[in-house]
Structure 1
Amino acid sequence: MTTAATRPVRIGVQIAPQHAEYAHIRETAAELEELGADILFNWDHFYPLSGEPDGLHFESWTMLAALAEQTNRVEIGALVNCNSYRNANLQADMARTIDHISAKDTGVGRFIFGTGSGWFERDYDEYGYEFGTVGQRLDALAEALPVIEDRWGKLNPAPTRKIPVLIGGGGEKKTLRIVAKHADIWHSFGDAATLERKLGILAEHGESVGRDTSQIEISTEIGKATPAEAEEKLALGATLFTVGLSGPKYDTARVADWLAWRDEKNS
C-alpha cells in the first residue's frame, strides 16, 4: 500500500490556458517536460479567471488530447474538470481516449482525471448550463463519479491503467466525503493548519465509507508559499505540489526552483 511515507514528492505545473496564443502554450509544455516537471495541468473554464475578462482563452479537454500526443513522460490532466459541462459517460470516454493517446510510447497512459463540481458562474451563463446551487453541483458530482467508473469498465478498448481520479475542493460535509469514496488524489487549498484540520475530517469520512484515506495522495497548490511553508504541508503528508503559471509570459524559472526543492526532498 502506498502512503505519504513512501510517496516521492512531485511537482505539477498548471498552465493556465489564458492570455497566450496556443503556440506559446505548446512551447511552454515542451519546456516544462524538459525541465522535469512531473505533471502538466490546465483548467476547465471558457474565459480567463484573471486579467482581461475577455482575453485569449482555450478549452481544456481538446488541449489535453494535444498535450497527450505532444509529450512523452509527464502525466497530464485538468485542475480541475467541471463535472457540469459534459455528461458522465462522455467524460469517461474522453478520459479513456486521452489515456490511450498518452500511452504512445510505453503502452501505459499518463492521464489524470482531475474533477470538481464547478464554480465559475460566467461559464455556466455564457454556455447555457444551469448554475444551480453549490449543493446541487456537489450532488451531481457524487452521482457522476460512479457512472464514470462503471463506464470505464465497459469501454472497448478499456483504459490502459486504473485512471487516477483527482478531486479538488475542501468542503467538509460533501466534498471530502466524495474524496474519501472516489479519489486517488485530493487537491487541497489553504495553509498548513487548514490542511491538518481537513485531513482529520477526511479520515473521519474514510471511516464512515470504509476507506483508508492514507491511500489518497495529498496535493496542494504552491501559490506564493515559501519552501518552509511547503515543508509544513509536506510534514502533514502532502506530496504533490503545483505551481500555477499564466500567460502572456509563463515564468518557468519558478518551476526550476521548485524542481530543485523536490529533488532535495527526494534524495
Structure 2
Amino acid sequence: MTFPVRIGVQLQPQHADYGQIRDAVRRAEDLGVDVIFNWDHFFPLSGDPDGKHFECWTMLGAWAEQTERVQIGALVTCNSYRNPELLADMARTVDHISGGRLLLGIGAGWFEKDYDEFGYEFGTAGGRIADLAAALPRIKARWARSNPLPTRDIPVLIGGGGERKTLRVVAEHADVWHTFGDAETLARKSGILDEHGAAVGRDTASLVERSVGVSAPPSEQSPALLEAGATLFTVGVSGPDYDLSLVEQWVAWRDARG
C-alpha cells in the first residue's frame, strides 16, 4: 500500500474558551487539512498548569457534528482513563455521528498529574503498555458485537516510540503509528517496527502509515522525513489564538506536490 501525503493539526484544548476552539476547527477545515486532532488530558501540558482545559471525547462528539470533510481523533486517547468496552462504544458513536471520519488514536498514558488528580492508578510504564496491549483486542471485539456496527473498520493510530514493547503493540494492532523525533530516529524505529511486524506476521511496511509531529516549515523537515517513510505530518497549536500559519505552509507544500 502506498499512503498519500496528508497534513494534520492538533488543536491542543488548553488556555482557550470553547468558542476559540470551535473557530480553530472551522479555520483548519477551511484551510484544507486532512486530520484535526485534540489530545486526551485533563490539564494543560504547557503554560499555566492549572489554566483552562477541556475534555477530549466530549469535544470529538461536537467536532463530528461541526465538521464535514476532515478526519477527527485524539492524538492520543489515554487507554487508562476509560474501560475498553466503554471507549469502543464512544468511538463507535462518534464514528456514526461523523459519517465514518473517526480515527481512534490511543496510547498507554504518561502524564502523572492526570492520574493523580482524577484518581487513576499511575503504576509503571511497562504496566500501562501491557494494559494497552490487552485493551485493543477488547475494543475490536466490542465493535464486532455492536448494534449498529461501526460504519467501517475504524482505523487505529497508536502513539509512542518504545522499541521493545510499544512498537510490538503497534505491529500487532495499528493502522497508523505516530511518533516524534528527527528523520534518523524515525527511520531507525520504523525498521524496528517492521521487525516486530515480521515476528507477528504483519507486513507493517505496507500496512502501517507513519505519522510524525512537525514544528518547522516543510522546507526544513519534509525531505528527510519523507525519505524516512513519514506520510502524515501534524502541527501542534495551542490556545488561545490557535495560529495556523505553519499549518498553512504544510498544506501548501502538500498541494504543490500534485
Query: TM-score per shorter chain, which class?
Result: over 0.9
Q: Distance in 2 between matches of 1:231 and 1:54?
A: 38
Using the TM superposition, name which of 248-257 and 165-174 deviates more.
248-257
Does the residue aligned with 1:244 lie in a helix, a strand or coil?
strand
Partner of 1:92: 88
Question: Match for residue 231 of structure 1?
Answer: 223
Q: What's 2:41 paired with?
A: 45
What's the TM-score once normalised by structure 1's chain length?
Answer: 0.95
Amino acid aligned to 2:91 = A
Name the SS for the 2:216 alignment partner.
coil
- One-letter amino acid matched to 2:169: I
| Structure-1 residue corresponding to 2:148 | 157
Shift, 1:89, TM fit: 0.3
Pairing 1:242–2:209 present: no
**Contact 2:218-2:250 within 8 A present in 1 as well:** no
| 1-structure distance, mates of 2:215, 2:116 | 29
Matched, 1:57 2:48: no
1:263 is matched with 255
Q: Match for 2:245: what amino acid?
A: A
Would you say 1:117 and 2:108 are equivalent positions? yes
**Within the alignment, does 1:28 sit opposite 2:20 as a pair?**
no
1:180-222: CA deviations, max 9, x gaps?
A: 0000000011111111110111011001000000210000001
Q: Deviations over 1:22-64 (max 9, x none)?
A: 0010011011101101000000000000000110000000000
Please give the secondary structure, in 1, of the residue aligned with 2:105: strand
Answering whether residue 160 of structure 2 is matched by residue 166 of structure 1, we say no
Q: C-alpha separation between the residues in 1 aligned to 2:17 and 2:9?
A: 18
Partner of residue 180 from structure 1, selected from 171, 178, 181: 171
2:8 equivalent in structure 1: 12
Provide the rounded CA distance (Å) in 2 between the counterparts of 1:235 and 1:159: 35
Cα distance change of structure 1 residues 119 and 75 upon mapping to structure 2, 3 Å threshold: same
Give unmatched runs, 5+ long, in structure 2.
none
The Cα shift of 1:225 comes to 5.6
Q: Which moved more, 1:59-68 or 1:192-201?
A: 192-201
Q: Which runs of 4+ in 1 moved over 3 A?
A: none
2: distance between equivalents of 1:217 and 1:39?
A: 14
SS in 2 for 1:199: helix
CA distance in 1, matches of 2:90, 2:215: 30
Unaligned runs of 5+ in 1: 104-108
Moved more, 121-130 or 224-233: 224-233
Distance 1:121 1:33 in 2: 33
Percent of aligned positions with the same letter in both sequences? 63
RMSD: 0.8
Give the Å deviation of 1:228. 3.3
- Counterparts of residues 69-148 of structure 1 (less than 5 Å): 69-103=65-99, 109-148=100-139
How far did 1:248 drift?
Answer: 1.3
2:213–2:235 contact (8 Å) kept in structure 1? yes
Amino acid at match of 2:68: N
Q: Which amino acid is the alignment partner of residue 234 of structure 1?
A: L
What does residue 194 of structure 1 align with? 185
Q: What amino acid is aligned across from residue 224 of structure 1 in structure 2?
A: A
CA distance in 2 between counterparts of 1:218 and 1:264 reads 21
